[in-house]
Amino acid sequence: MKPAPFKYYAPTTVEEALAHLTEYGYDAKALAGGQSLIPMLNFRLAQPAVLVDLNNISELFYIRPDGNGGLCLGAMTRQRQVEYDPLVAERAPLVHEVMPQIAYPQIRTRGTFGGSLAHADPSAELVAVNIALNARFRLRSQARERWVPADEFFAGLFTTVLEPDELLVEIALPPMPPRSGAAFLQITRRHHDFCIAGVAVLVTLDGKGQCEQARLVFLSAGAGPVIAHQAAGVLVGQAPTPEVIRAAAERAASADIDPGSDIHASAEYRRHLAKVLARRTLTQAFDRAISNI
C-alpha cells in the first residue's frame, strides 16, 4: 500500500509550521518522526490532505536543564538522543529506563519524544511515564501559548487536547521529589511488541516513611492511559508494606482500569496482568524511594 496524495510543506520555523496548520486546520497533519503516522498513511488509515513536516525545525530539538533540577525537552528531540543523554539519566531516571523498551533502535532513530505523546497510542510507554512523572506540555498556536499538565493532555484513543492549529513544542519534566522512587514494567508477547499491559509508577515517602503521594498510570488498559486514583488512595498515609501494596494493586485492577478484550488478550487476563505488574512496580518504586532517603 502507498499513501494517498498530499500537499507537503517543510517549514524551518515553528511560526511557519503554525501558519500552515492555521490555514488548513483539520485537513493538515503534523509529521514528526513518522514512525506511527507513516504506517497509517501507508495503510491509508489516515489520508490527510496536507502534511506539515516538522523535521527541519531545528529550534524544536533540544534537551536542557531547567533552573530547578528538572529538564526541558524540545518536542522533536529524537528518542535515540533521549536514550543516550546523561542529563536525562540523571534527572529523569524513569525516562532513561524506559527508552530502550520503546519499539526498536531503528524506530528510535527517527521517532521523537513529543511525537509519541501527540500520537497518544494507548500502549505508548512515554505517555504513561510522562503522566507518572507529572510532566507539563507547552502547546503553541498562532494565537496563544498554553501549558497543559500531562494528566490533562490525553483525551482518549489517539486523541489529545491539541487543537488542529496547535503544536506540542516542549515537555517540562520536574525534578524527582526527595524520597521518591519510580518504576515501569510492561508485558509483551515478544520483546518490543506493543504491550498487553503495562504500568508506570512514581511514589514519594514522607518523613515518617509513609507514602505521601502515589501515581500509578496504566498502559493498554483502556482507550487511553489510566491513572489509578483509587489505588493511590489505598497507599497514601500508609506504610508501604507488602500487604498494603497488594491491596493497592488489587484495587487498581478491579476498580481503576477497564481493559478491553482483543486478539492479544482478554479483559480478564489484562486485569490479572495489571494487578501483578502494579504489585511489582510499587514494590520496586518504594524500595528505590527508601534508598533515596
Partner 1 sequence: MNGLFNVTITVNGTQYERTVEPRLLLSDFLRHDLGLTGTHVGCEHGVCGACTILFDGDPVRSCLMFAVQANGHEVLTVEGLGTMDNLHPLQEAFWGAGAVQCGFCTPGFLMSLTPFLKENPNPTEEEIREAISGNLCRCTGYQHIIDAVKLAAEKMRR
Where does this chain bind partner 1 (CB under 8 A)? Answer: 1-10, 34-35, 38-39, 41-43, 51, 53, 55, 80, 100, 103-107, 109-110, 191-192
CA distance linking residue 159 with residue 119, whole number of Å: 7
34 conformational bin, left if phi > 0, alpha if psi -120 to 50, beta if neither: left
Question: 168 - beta bridge partners?
Answer: 139
| Inter-residue contact 253 to 275 (CB < 8 Å) | yes
Task: Between 111 and 181, name the residue whose CB sits nearer to partner 1.
Answer: 111
Take residue 96 and report the three cell numbers written for it.
532513561
Q: Mark out the alpha helices in the chain (DSSP H runs).
A: 14-24, 37-42, 79-84, 86-91, 93-98, 105-110, 113-119, 125-132, 150-153, 229-235, 242-251, 267-291
Task: Between 106 and 254, name the residue whose CB sits nearer to partner 1.
Answer: 106
Task: Between 1 and 263, name the residue whose CB sits nearer to partner 1.
Answer: 1
Report the 10 Å Cβ neighbour count for 266: 13
Task: Between 189 and 192, name the residue whose CB sits nearer to partner 1.
Answer: 192
Q: How far is the CB of 89 from partner 1 (least distance, A)?
A: 17
Task: Between 56 and 254, name the residue whose CB sits nearer to partner 1.
Answer: 56
| Inter-residue contact 168 to 96 (CB < 8 Å) | no
Task: Between 146 and 192, name the residue whose CB sits nearer to partner 1.
Answer: 192
For residue 107, CA distances in Å to 35, 73, 98, 112 come to 6, 19, 14, 9
Q: How far is the CB of 253 from partner 1 (least distance, A)?
A: 29
Q: How far is the CB of 119 from partner 1 (least distance, A)?
A: 13
Q: Residue for cell digits 501549558?
A: 147
The DSSP letter of residue 275 is H
Q: How far is the CB of 168 from partner 1 (least distance, A)?
A: 20
Q: How far is the CB of 55 from partner 1 (least distance, A)?
A: 6
Q: How far is the CB of 100 from partner 1 (least distance, A)?
A: 8
Q: How far is the CB of 3 from partner 1 (least distance, A)?
A: 4
Q: How far is the CB of 45 from partner 1 (least distance, A)?
A: 10
Report the 10 Å Cβ neighbour count for 145: 11
Nearby residues of 114 by Cβ (< 8 Å), 6 or more positions away: 32, 60, 73, 74, 75, 76, 77, 168, 169, 170, 171
Task: Between 20 and 251, name the residue whose CB sits nearer to partner 1.
Answer: 20
Task: Between 8 and 147, name the residue whose CB sits nearer to partner 1.
Answer: 8
